[in-house]
Amino acid sequence: MTVLYLVIPCYNESEVLPETVSRLDQILEGMVKSGKIDKKSRALYVNDGSKDNTWELIKGYSETSPWTCGLCLSRNRGHQNALLAGLMEAKKHADAVISLDADLQDDVNAIEKMVDAFHAGNDIVYGVRSSREKDTWFKKTTAEGFYHVMKFLGVEIVFNHADYRLMSRRALDGLEEFDEVNLFLRGIIPQIGYPSATVTYERGERFAGESKYPLKKMLAFAFEGITSFTIKPIRFVTTLGAFAFMVSLVMLVYCLVSYITGNVVSGWASLGVSIWALGGLQILSLGVIGEYIGKIYLETKHRPRYIVKETAGISDESV
Ligand code: UDP
Ligand code: MG
Protein backbone atom coordinates (compact mmCIF):
# COMPACT_ATOMS: atom_id res chain seq x y z
CA MET A 1 0.00 0.00 0.00
CA THR A 2 1.06 3.58 -0.63
CA VAL A 3 3.21 5.15 2.05
CA LEU A 4 2.41 8.88 1.91
CA TYR A 5 4.58 11.59 3.42
CA LEU A 6 3.48 15.18 3.83
CA VAL A 7 6.33 17.70 3.85
CA ILE A 8 5.70 21.00 5.62
CA PRO A 9 8.42 23.69 5.75
CA CYS A 10 8.09 25.82 8.86
CA TYR A 11 9.66 29.17 9.63
CA ASN A 12 8.53 30.76 12.88
CA GLU A 13 5.22 28.92 12.73
CA SER A 14 4.61 28.22 16.43
CA GLU A 15 1.27 30.04 16.21
CA VAL A 16 -0.17 27.75 13.55
CA LEU A 17 1.57 24.47 14.33
CA PRO A 18 -0.83 23.06 16.96
CA GLU A 19 -3.77 23.42 14.58
CA THR A 20 -1.81 22.22 11.55
CA VAL A 21 -0.56 19.11 13.33
CA SER A 22 -4.01 18.18 14.57
CA ARG A 23 -5.64 18.69 11.14
CA LEU A 24 -2.98 16.78 9.23
CA ASP A 25 -3.06 13.97 11.82
CA GLN A 26 -6.79 13.69 11.25
CA ILE A 27 -6.36 13.56 7.49
CA LEU A 28 -3.68 10.88 7.64
CA GLU A 29 -5.60 8.82 10.17
CA GLY A 30 -8.76 9.03 8.07
CA MET A 31 -7.00 7.92 4.93
CA VAL A 32 -5.28 5.04 6.71
CA LYS A 33 -8.65 3.91 8.10
CA SER A 34 -10.28 4.03 4.68
CA GLY A 35 -7.45 1.91 3.33
CA LYS A 36 -6.05 4.52 0.94
CA ILE A 37 -2.60 4.79 2.44
CA ASP A 38 -0.32 2.69 4.60
CA LYS A 39 -0.10 3.25 8.33
CA LYS A 40 3.59 4.04 7.95
CA SER A 41 2.55 7.38 6.39
CA ARG A 42 3.78 10.50 8.17
CA ALA A 43 3.76 14.28 8.23
CA LEU A 44 7.34 15.56 8.14
CA TYR A 45 7.80 19.09 9.48
CA VAL A 46 10.98 20.86 8.41
CA ASN A 47 12.16 23.56 10.78
CA ASP A 48 13.88 26.17 8.62
CA GLY A 49 16.01 27.80 11.33
CA SER A 50 13.05 29.34 13.16
CA LYS A 51 13.77 31.91 15.83
CA ASP A 52 10.77 30.95 17.94
CA ASN A 53 10.04 27.60 19.56
CA THR A 54 8.84 25.89 16.36
CA TRP A 55 11.43 23.10 16.65
CA GLU A 56 10.61 22.41 20.31
CA LEU A 57 6.97 22.08 19.30
CA ILE A 58 7.77 19.71 16.44
CA LYS A 59 9.95 17.59 18.72
CA GLY A 60 7.18 17.47 21.29
CA TYR A 61 4.56 16.41 18.72
CA SER A 62 6.89 13.76 17.33
CA GLU A 63 6.63 12.09 20.72
CA THR A 64 2.91 12.51 21.30
CA SER A 65 1.51 12.13 17.79
CA PRO A 66 2.12 8.84 15.96
CA TRP A 67 1.94 10.66 12.60
CA THR A 68 4.46 13.40 13.21
CA CYS A 69 8.19 13.52 12.59
CA GLY A 70 10.61 16.40 12.07
CA LEU A 71 13.76 17.62 10.43
CA CYS A 72 15.74 20.58 11.73
CA LEU A 73 18.01 22.56 9.41
CA SER A 74 21.21 24.11 10.74
CA ARG A 75 19.92 27.63 9.95
CA ASN A 76 17.34 29.51 7.88
CA ARG A 77 17.85 28.56 4.23
CA GLY A 78 14.59 29.83 2.77
CA HIS A 79 11.36 28.12 1.81
CA GLN A 80 12.61 26.37 -1.36
CA ASN A 81 15.67 24.84 0.29
CA ALA A 82 13.69 23.75 3.33
CA LEU A 83 11.18 22.12 1.03
CA LEU A 84 13.91 20.32 -0.86
CA ALA A 85 15.45 19.06 2.40
CA GLY A 86 12.09 17.62 3.42
CA LEU A 87 11.43 16.06 0.02
CA MET A 88 14.82 14.36 -0.06
CA GLU A 89 14.32 12.93 3.43
CA ALA A 90 10.74 11.83 2.74
CA LYS A 91 11.81 10.13 -0.48
CA LYS A 92 13.74 7.58 1.59
CA HIS A 93 10.58 6.37 3.27
CA ALA A 94 7.63 7.11 1.01
CA ASP A 95 6.07 6.12 -2.30
CA ALA A 96 4.47 9.53 -2.70
CA VAL A 97 5.16 12.89 -1.07
CA ILE A 98 2.93 15.96 -0.86
CA SER A 99 4.41 19.36 -0.01
CA LEU A 100 2.25 22.02 1.60
CA ASP A 101 2.53 25.21 3.65
CA ALA A 102 2.34 25.20 7.41
CA ASP A 103 -0.31 27.90 7.55
CA LEU A 104 -3.14 25.72 6.13
CA GLN A 105 -3.65 28.08 3.19
CA ASP A 106 -3.49 25.03 0.96
CA ASP A 107 -6.81 23.28 1.36
CA VAL A 108 -6.03 19.98 3.08
CA ASN A 109 -9.05 18.32 1.50
CA ALA A 110 -7.17 18.25 -1.79
CA ILE A 111 -4.70 15.74 -0.30
CA GLU A 112 -7.04 12.84 -0.87
CA LYS A 113 -7.76 13.95 -4.44
CA MET A 114 -4.02 14.11 -5.09
CA VAL A 115 -3.53 10.59 -3.79
CA ASP A 116 -6.38 9.40 -6.03
CA ALA A 117 -4.66 11.00 -9.01
CA PHE A 118 -1.43 9.28 -7.97
CA HIS A 119 -3.23 5.92 -7.82
CA ALA A 120 -4.58 6.64 -11.28
CA GLY A 121 -1.00 6.56 -12.53
CA ASN A 122 0.28 10.13 -12.24
CA ASP A 123 3.77 10.84 -10.93
CA ILE A 124 3.23 14.54 -10.35
CA VAL A 125 -0.05 16.11 -9.25
CA TYR A 126 -0.11 19.91 -9.24
CA GLY A 127 -2.36 21.73 -6.81
CA VAL A 128 -3.84 24.66 -8.73
CA ARG A 129 -5.69 27.52 -7.08
CA SER A 130 -9.20 27.89 -8.41
CA SER A 131 -9.49 31.46 -7.23
CA ARG A 132 -7.52 34.10 -5.46
CA GLU A 133 -10.44 35.80 -3.77
CA LYS A 134 -8.79 35.63 -0.38
CA ASP A 135 -5.60 37.29 -1.61
CA THR A 136 -5.25 41.05 -1.52
CA TRP A 137 -5.68 42.90 -4.85
CA PHE A 138 -1.95 43.63 -4.86
CA LYS A 139 -0.85 40.03 -4.29
CA LYS A 140 -3.31 38.74 -6.88
CA THR A 141 -2.27 41.21 -9.57
CA THR A 142 1.47 40.84 -9.01
CA ALA A 143 1.29 37.04 -8.78
CA GLU A 144 -0.81 36.62 -11.92
CA GLY A 145 1.33 39.17 -13.74
CA PHE A 146 4.36 37.11 -12.82
CA TYR A 147 2.91 33.94 -14.34
CA HIS A 148 2.14 35.85 -17.54
CA VAL A 149 5.69 37.23 -17.74
CA MET A 150 7.11 33.74 -17.20
CA LYS A 151 4.91 32.37 -19.99
CA PHE A 152 5.91 35.24 -22.27
CA LEU A 153 9.58 34.51 -21.62
CA GLY A 154 8.99 30.91 -22.60
CA VAL A 155 9.31 29.26 -19.18
CA GLU A 156 7.19 26.17 -18.74
CA ILE A 157 5.20 26.78 -15.58
CA VAL A 158 1.80 25.65 -14.32
CA PHE A 159 -0.51 28.68 -14.00
CA ASN A 160 -1.54 29.49 -10.43
CA HIS A 161 0.35 26.55 -9.00
CA ALA A 162 2.67 27.21 -6.09
CA ASP A 163 4.34 24.45 -4.12
CA TYR A 164 1.32 22.38 -3.17
CA ARG A 165 1.92 19.18 -5.10
CA LEU A 166 2.29 15.44 -4.95
CA MET A 167 5.37 13.72 -6.32
CA SER A 168 6.08 10.03 -6.68
CA ARG A 169 9.37 8.57 -5.57
CA ARG A 170 10.66 8.28 -9.09
CA ALA A 171 9.77 11.91 -9.80
CA LEU A 172 11.72 12.84 -6.66
CA ASP A 173 14.65 10.75 -7.87
CA GLY A 174 14.45 12.88 -11.01
CA LEU A 175 14.41 16.06 -8.93
CA GLU A 176 17.54 14.93 -7.10
CA GLU A 177 19.42 15.01 -10.41
CA PHE A 178 18.88 18.76 -10.68
CA ASP A 179 21.67 20.00 -8.49
CA GLU A 180 21.29 23.74 -8.96
CA VAL A 181 21.65 25.98 -5.94
CA ASN A 182 19.39 28.72 -7.34
CA LEU A 183 16.26 26.80 -6.55
CA PHE A 184 12.94 27.60 -8.18
CA LEU A 185 11.08 24.34 -7.75
CA ARG A 186 7.93 25.18 -9.68
CA GLY A 187 10.07 25.79 -12.76
CA ILE A 188 12.16 22.63 -12.32
CA ILE A 189 9.36 20.15 -11.64
CA PRO A 190 7.64 20.40 -15.08
CA GLN A 191 11.04 19.61 -16.60
CA ILE A 192 11.22 16.25 -14.83
CA GLY A 193 8.54 14.83 -17.08
CA TYR A 194 6.42 11.71 -16.27
CA PRO A 195 2.62 11.66 -16.38
CA SER A 196 1.06 14.51 -14.44
CA ALA A 197 -2.34 15.80 -13.43
CA THR A 198 -3.78 18.85 -11.71
CA VAL A 199 -6.15 19.13 -8.80
CA THR A 200 -7.87 22.45 -8.13
CA TYR A 201 -8.41 23.81 -4.66
CA GLU A 202 -9.39 27.05 -3.01
CA ARG A 203 -6.61 28.92 -1.35
CA GLY A 204 -7.72 30.02 2.07
CA GLU A 205 -6.42 32.71 4.35
CA ARG A 206 -3.45 32.23 6.62
CA PHE A 207 -4.80 30.48 9.70
CA ALA A 208 -2.66 32.45 12.18
CA GLY A 209 0.56 34.41 12.31
CA GLU A 210 1.78 36.55 9.45
CA SER A 211 3.24 35.90 6.01
CA LYS A 212 6.89 34.92 5.94
CA TYR A 213 7.05 36.19 2.36
CA PRO A 214 7.24 39.98 2.46
CA LEU A 215 7.31 41.93 -0.82
CA LYS A 216 11.11 41.97 -0.89
CA LYS A 217 11.34 38.17 -0.70
CA MET A 218 8.55 37.82 -3.27
CA LEU A 219 10.36 40.05 -5.78
CA ALA A 220 13.64 38.21 -5.21
CA PHE A 221 11.83 34.92 -5.77
CA ALA A 222 10.23 36.12 -9.01
CA PHE A 223 13.60 37.33 -10.25
CA GLU A 224 15.13 34.00 -9.30
CA GLY A 225 12.46 32.23 -11.33
CA ILE A 226 13.04 34.32 -14.43
CA THR A 227 16.83 34.29 -14.42
CA SER A 228 17.04 30.59 -13.56
CA PHE A 229 14.97 29.42 -16.47
CA THR A 230 15.43 31.71 -19.38
CA ILE A 231 18.19 33.71 -21.05
CA LYS A 232 15.66 35.79 -22.95
CA PRO A 233 16.44 38.95 -20.93
CA ILE A 234 20.06 38.71 -22.12
CA ARG A 235 18.87 38.24 -25.69
CA PHE A 236 16.65 41.24 -25.23
CA VAL A 237 19.67 43.28 -24.14
CA THR A 238 21.54 42.18 -27.26
CA THR A 239 18.63 43.16 -29.50
CA LEU A 240 18.39 46.48 -27.74
CA GLY A 241 22.11 47.06 -28.29
CA ALA A 242 21.81 46.26 -32.00
CA PHE A 243 18.84 48.59 -32.32
CA ALA A 244 20.66 51.44 -30.57
CA PHE A 245 23.61 50.93 -32.90
CA MET A 246 21.37 51.20 -35.97
CA VAL A 247 19.87 54.39 -34.62
CA SER A 248 23.35 55.83 -34.11
CA LEU A 249 24.21 55.04 -37.76
CA VAL A 250 21.15 56.93 -38.92
CA MET A 251 22.18 59.78 -36.65
CA LEU A 252 25.66 59.78 -38.15
CA VAL A 253 24.30 60.06 -41.66
CA TYR A 254 21.95 62.82 -40.56
CA CYS A 255 24.80 64.73 -38.91
CA LEU A 256 27.02 64.41 -41.97
CA VAL A 257 24.25 65.62 -44.26
CA SER A 258 23.54 68.55 -41.93
CA TYR A 259 27.24 69.42 -41.88
CA ILE A 260 27.57 69.31 -45.65
CA THR A 261 24.44 71.34 -46.26
CA GLY A 262 25.69 73.88 -43.77
CA ASN A 263 23.03 73.43 -41.12
CA VAL A 264 24.84 73.87 -37.83
CA VAL A 265 23.60 71.30 -35.36
CA SER A 266 22.26 73.21 -32.44
CA GLY A 267 20.56 72.26 -29.21
CA TRP A 268 22.45 70.36 -26.59
CA ALA A 269 19.17 69.26 -24.98
CA SER A 270 18.55 66.44 -27.39
CA LEU A 271 22.17 65.44 -27.04
CA GLY A 272 21.91 65.41 -23.27
CA VAL A 273 18.77 63.32 -23.40
CA SER A 274 20.30 60.73 -25.63
CA ILE A 275 23.42 60.45 -23.47
CA TRP A 276 21.27 59.79 -20.44
CA ALA A 277 19.02 57.37 -22.26
CA LEU A 278 21.90 55.37 -23.68
CA GLY A 279 23.88 55.52 -20.44
CA GLY A 280 20.87 54.23 -18.55
CA LEU A 281 20.29 51.43 -20.99
CA GLN A 282 23.93 50.44 -20.79
CA ILE A 283 23.93 50.27 -17.03
CA LEU A 284 20.67 48.33 -17.06
CA SER A 285 22.05 45.89 -19.59
CA LEU A 286 25.20 45.39 -17.58
CA GLY A 287 23.03 44.73 -14.56
CA VAL A 288 21.07 42.01 -16.36
CA ILE A 289 24.24 40.36 -17.57
CA GLY A 290 25.82 40.71 -14.14
CA GLU A 291 22.81 38.97 -12.65
CA TYR A 292 23.47 35.91 -14.79
CA ILE A 293 27.18 35.96 -14.07
CA GLY A 294 26.35 36.11 -10.38
CA LYS A 295 24.26 32.97 -10.83
CA ILE A 296 27.08 31.17 -12.58
CA TYR A 297 29.36 32.16 -9.72
CA LEU A 298 26.99 30.72 -7.14
CA GLU A 299 26.43 27.53 -9.12
CA THR A 300 30.13 26.83 -9.63
CA LYS A 301 30.75 26.79 -5.91
CA HIS A 302 28.53 23.75 -5.44
CA ARG A 303 27.76 24.72 -1.90
CA PRO A 304 25.30 22.51 0.00
CA ARG A 305 21.74 23.74 -0.31
CA TYR A 306 20.92 22.82 3.27
CA ILE A 307 22.48 21.06 6.25
CA VAL A 308 20.40 18.89 8.56
CA LYS A 309 21.17 19.49 12.20
CA GLU A 310 18.75 17.17 13.93
CA THR A 311 15.82 14.87 13.30
CA ALA A 312 12.88 13.79 15.45
CA GLY A 313 10.77 10.67 15.17
CA ILE A 314 12.10 9.61 11.78
CA SER A 315 12.46 5.84 11.50
CA ASP A 316 15.69 4.42 10.08
CA GLU A 317 13.62 2.14 7.97
CA SER A 318 13.68 3.13 4.34
CA VAL A 319 11.93 1.70 1.31
N1 UDP B 1 8.92 29.34 5.01
C2 UDP B 1 10.14 28.71 5.25
N3 UDP B 1 11.30 29.46 5.25
C4 UDP B 1 11.30 30.81 5.02
C5 UDP B 1 10.05 31.44 4.74
C6 UDP B 1 8.88 30.68 4.74
O7 UDP B 1 10.20 27.49 5.46
O8 UDP B 1 12.37 31.41 5.04
C9 UDP B 1 7.67 28.54 5.01
C10 UDP B 1 6.56 29.05 5.91
O11 UDP B 1 6.73 28.58 7.22
C12 UDP B 1 5.32 28.48 5.25
C13 UDP B 1 5.69 28.49 3.77
O14 UDP B 1 7.11 28.59 3.71
O15 UDP B 1 5.05 27.15 5.64
C16 UDP B 1 5.03 29.61 3.01
O17 UDP B 1 5.26 30.84 3.67
P18 UDP B 1 4.08 31.91 3.90
O19 UDP B 1 2.81 31.22 4.21
O20 UDP B 1 4.56 32.88 4.91
O21 UDP B 1 4.02 32.59 2.47
P22 UDP B 1 2.72 33.20 1.72
O23 UDP B 1 1.64 32.15 1.82
O24 UDP B 1 2.37 34.44 2.43
O25 UDP B 1 3.17 33.41 0.31
MG1 MG C 1 1.00 31.28 3.47
CA distance 305 to 288: 24
Residue from 7, 10, 11, 83 to probe ligand 1 pocket by mutation (most atoms less than 8 Å from CB): 11
- Predicted confidence (pLDDT) at residue 51 exceeds the cutoff of 70: yes
CB atoms under 10 Å from CB of 11, counted, come to 22
CA of 102 relative to ligand 2 center, distance in Å: 7
Q: Give the per-residue pLDDT at 178.
A: 92
pTM: predicted TM-score of the whole model, two decimal places:
0.79
Tell me the three state secondary structure of residue 72.
Answer: strand
Question: Which element (helix H / strand E) includes 70?
Answer: strand 68-73
- CA–CA–CA angle 74, 11, 223 (5° rounding): 95
Report which of 67, 73, 81 is spatially closest to residue 37, judged by C-alpha positions: 67
CA of 78 relative to ligand 1 center, distance in Å: 8
Report which of 71, 137, 45, 144 is spatially closest to residue 306, judged by C-alpha positions: 71
**Does ligand 1 come within 6 angstroms of the Cβ of 212?**
yes
**What is the rounded average pLDDT of the residues 212-222?**
82
Cβ neighbours of residue 10 closer than 8 Å, sequence gap 6 or more: 17, 45, 46, 47, 48, 50, 54, 58, 82, 102
Task: Report which ligand 1 atom has the smallest distance to the Cα of 82.
Answer: 7
Task: Report which ligand 1 atom has the smallest distance to the Cα of 46.
Answer: 7
CB contact at 8 A, 54 and 71: no
CB contact at 8 A, 82 and 73: yes
CA of 118 relative to ligand 2 center, distance in Å: 25
**What is the rounded average pLDDT of the residues 303-308?**
90
Q: How far is CA 307 from CA 72, 131, 310, in A?
A: 9, 36, 9
- Predicted confidence (pLDDT) at residue 69 exceeds the cutoff of 80: yes
Domain segments of the chain: what residues?
4-212+306-312, 232-301
Q: What would the pLDDT profile of 286-297 be if each residue is shown by its tens digit?
A: 888 888 888 888
**Does ligand 1 come within 6 angstroms of the Cβ of 70?**
no
- pLDDT bracket for residue 203 (50, 70, 90): confident
Q: How far does CA 58 lie from the centroid of its chain?
A: 24
Q: Looking at the DSSP assignment, which residues form a beta bridge with residue 99? A: 7, 165
Note the residue count of the chain: 319
**What is the rounded average pLDDT of the residues 163-182?**
92
Q: Mean pLDDT score of the chain, rounded to an integer?
A: 87
Domain 4-212+306-312 has CATH 3.40.190.10: no
Q: Kindly identify the ligand whose nearest atom is closest to the C-alpha of 220.
A: 1
